[in-house]
């Protein structure tokens, strides 16, 4: 129970999740007294959760190496241990991404053949979602790893949507074969040669929300920047619109009319808040929620994890990967 | 006169520029008959331009190498030759970016010490513009080159805004020193050690429009993707808003009110249409306009180039670079 907003958003989100998601059981790890205090402040009944008292927390600026070596008593470490030992079916965290990836890789089994787990989230779009990966788990990637991301994304879409041959595209700065970095061009060749994939070629940044592909593949550095640029653009537009509505009497009247339509609009189109990012390629369900998560977005991440666990996604993705 | 929309947008933009920008003279290169026909169709007086008949054009999918070797008779090649020979003071193109960069590097002198020119454009933001580079001229970069981009961006902001020590930030996926690719971390060390720069550290994708920095540095692959993601997000939001306004009677009425406020909003926040991207580090003014430029955005690119030429920006940036 950490992240930038800490208990203030995660506890109400947990209470909402218990109320709304059937059969859900939630174990909350953190400083027990702080959790109890926050429950009292918000009139949330703590007995509906299993509270596990964990004294330590991994700071947002601590390196993955430190998390691995020195943070066995942190809430994140303990949560992933519970997952490894089968005591929970999924983990949701709004904490340090690097640490979450490192601990998951260290403590959980990887799907057969998978070299590096990747972070994947759906983006909304005209007519359907597009699943994008990697969103930040792997900063420096090799072409073979990007191909595995494509395979995992494709398997995920097949499991979730029943689409037999999901359209896989590679994020690039142009659609022509000559465009892009050495890594992207190498990856394109491998993807095109992979019969189990329905590879449709390069896709550009302006097509993230047009549903031209079911899966968009990129390295974690580019993916994380792209995701945050979406967020920054949406925020800026929202601020600009508000400013325009404020600047004139005409705008003020229009603003009153439009307010209900714009309400939560930013949340809707913010892909990170849209659903939480799942770490694919592991034996268990690990969902990363945005560090600055609101109650709404943390709830989405819990719902996402619950659904993935209920559908036994890690096993099904692994199975799908072996099949193709 | 090429680009995806061709003469349909560039000719009206040129006419608007001649009418509105004082002392501007425009030389248009392309197939003369096609230009004359388009002028007639649109009741534009062709005698206000210098028309240069050039038979060939560089296709959007042709490689820079082909442009260099085989396209001496193309409009882009001829335009940059005119610039080199001092017959024009700036070039604007909506054509193939790779070819424009390659031809500019080949035909024009570089500013002293500069290894690779970089593409730079202003992003609007709360309280002021942020200049971002590289936006696609250099796909695979070295740390030393990114430092030069920082120096060029900083010199540009000093020339344009009179800011003595512009705040320079490096685009990354986190603010902590341990974050990012090897390239980004190496670059950060070099930037911090460079006394002529006011380096303020890493910046994330959601801060592109918050004016936390005057200059944002990244490699051309990441920069180009980021720019196009801005565009895609803005487009998607615009489509979504329209959809919402259409879905209910309440929305329809609100839409009528809001229409005038949303008009051109997409253009305003689309950073590529915002002003055109300048190729810095060369002896002449070269401005790249978006391939899919509308009349409005192509006009912005012409205005941008005219202003840069009037202010003698290439020489002043070069001077600024030698000073620091």
* DSSP strand pairing (A215-217 vs A130-133): parallel
Best of A125, A177, A207, A225 to mutate (most B CBs within 10 Å, chain B): A225
Q: Which of A229, A238, A240, A248 to mutate to test the interface with B (most CBs of B within 10 A)?
A: A229
Closest residue on chain A to B177 (Cα): A61
Confidence of residue A323 (pLDDT cuts 50, 70, 90): confident
The DSSP-derived string for B196-253 is: TSEEEEEE-GGGTTTTS-SEEE--HHHHHHHHHHHHHHHHHHHHHHHHHHHHSHHHHH
For A281-294, how does the pLDDT look when each residue is reduced to its tens digit (9 = 90+)? 999 999 998 766 67
CB contacts of A206 in chain B (<8 Å) are: 228-229, 231-232, 235
B176 touches chain A (CB under 8 A): yes
Name which of A128, A177, A237, A288 to mutate to probe chain B: the one with the most chain B Cβ atoms within 10 A of its Cβ.
Answer: A237
Architecture of domain B122-273: 3-Layer(aba) Sandwich (3.40)
Partners of A271 in beta bridges: none
A87 CA: distance to closest CA in chain B (Å): 32
Share of chain B residues as helix, strand and coil, in percent rounded to the nearest 5:
50, 15, 35
Nearest CB to A180: which of B173, B210, B221?
A: B221
Highest-pLDDT range among A179-183, B131-135, B234-238: B131-135
Angstrom distance (rounded) from CA A224 to CA A216: 13
Residue A67: pLDDT over 70: yes
Does A140 lie at the interface with B, CB-CB under 8 angstroms? yes
* Residues 6 or more apart in contact with residue B55 via CB below 8 angstroms: B31, B73
B121 inside 8 A of chain A by CB: no
ipTM of predicted complex: 0.88
pLDDT tens digits for range A142-169? 999 999 999 999 999 998 899 999 999 9
User: Which residues 21-80 on chain B approach chain A with CB closer than 8 angstroms?
Assistant: 60-61, 63
Q: Which of A206, A273, A290 should be substituted to probe chain B, the one whose Cβ sees the most B Cβ atoms within 10 Å?
A: A206
- The answer to whether B257 contacts A254, with C-beta atoms less than 8 Å apart, is yes
**Per-residue pLDDT tens over the stretch A68-113:** 899 999 999 999 999 999 999 999 998 888 899 999 999 999 998 8
Q: In chain B, which residue's Cα lies nearest the Cα of A235?
A: B206
Measured between beta carbons, the chain B residues lying within 8 angstroms of A173 are 136, 139, 220-221, 224-225, 228
Query: CATH 3.40.718.10 occupies which residues in chain B?
Result: 1-114+281-324, 122-273
Three-class SS of residue B16?
helix
The reported pLDDT for the residue numbered A266 is 56
What is the pLDDT at residue A272? 44
- Coil, strand or helix at B162: coil
Residues of B in contact with A180 (CB under 8 A): 139, 221
Q: Which CATH number fits domain A1-114+281-324: 3.30.930.10, 3.40.190.10, 3.40.50.300, 3.40.718.10?
A: 3.40.718.10
Q: For position A235, what pLDDT does the model report?
A: 84
Mean pLDDT in residue range B219-247: 85
Q: Is B245 on the interface with A (CB under 8 A)?
A: yes
**Which of the four pLDDT bands, split at 50, 70 and 90, describes residue B274?**
low
How much is the pLDDT for A61? 81
Instruction: Inform me whether the pLDDT recorded for A125 exceeds 50.
Output: yes
How much is the average pLDDT of B280-285? 94
pLDDT of residue B91 exceeding 60: yes
A and B: number of Cβ contacts within 8 A: 175
Give CA–CA dist A248/A227, Å, rounded. 33
**Residue A178: band (very low, low, confident or very high) from pLDDT cuts 50, 70, 90:** confident
Please report how the helices B220-247 and A220-247 are oriented relative to each other, as an axis angle in degrees rounded to 10: 50
d(CA B138, CA B206): 23
Touching check for A281 and chain B: CB below 8 Å? no
- How far is the C-alpha of B150 from the C-alpha of B192, rounded, in Å? 11
| Cα dihedral across residues B253, B258, B263, B267: positive or negative | negative
């Amino acid at each position: 129970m950490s992240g930038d907003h800490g208990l203030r958003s995660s506890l109400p989100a947990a209470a909402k999740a218990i109320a709304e998601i059937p059969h859900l059981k939630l174990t909350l790890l953190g400083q027990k007294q702080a959790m109890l205090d926050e429950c009292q402040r918000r009139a949330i009944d703590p007995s509906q959760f299993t509270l596990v008292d964990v004294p330590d927390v991994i700071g947002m600026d601590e390196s993955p190496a430190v998390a691995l070596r020195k943070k066995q008593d942190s809430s994140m470490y303990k949560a992933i241990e519970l997952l490894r030992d089968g005591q929970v079916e999924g983990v949701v965290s709004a904490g340090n991404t690097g640490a979450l990836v490192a601990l998951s890789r260290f403590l959980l089994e990887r799907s057969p053949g998978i070299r590096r787990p990747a972070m994947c989230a759906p983006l909304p779009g005209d007519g359907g979602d597009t699943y994008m990966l990697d969103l930040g788990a792997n900063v420096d990637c090799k072409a073979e790893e990007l191909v595995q991301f494509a395979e995992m994304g494709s398997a995920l879409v097949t499991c979730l949507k029943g689409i037999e041959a999901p359209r896989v595209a590679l994020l690039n700065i142009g659609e022509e074969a000559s465009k892009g970095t050495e890594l992207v061009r190498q990856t394109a060749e491998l993807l095109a040669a992979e019969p189990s994939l329905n590879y449709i070629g390069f896709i550009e940044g302006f097509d993230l929300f047009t549903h031209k592909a079911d899966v968009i593949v990129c390295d974690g550095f580019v993916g994380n920047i792209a995701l945050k640029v979406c967020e920054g653009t949406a925020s800026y537009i929202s601020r600009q619109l508000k400013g325009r509505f404020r600047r004139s009497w005409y705008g003020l009247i229009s603003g009153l009319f439009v307010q209900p339509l714009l309400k939560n609009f930013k949340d809707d189109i913010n892909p990170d808040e849209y659903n939480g990012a799942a770490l694919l390629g592991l034996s268990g369900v690990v969902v990363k929620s945005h560090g600055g998560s609101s109650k709404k977005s943390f709830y989405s991440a819990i719902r996402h994890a619950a659904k993935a666990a209920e559908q036994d996604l890690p096993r099904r993705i692994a199975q799908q990967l072996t099949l193709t």
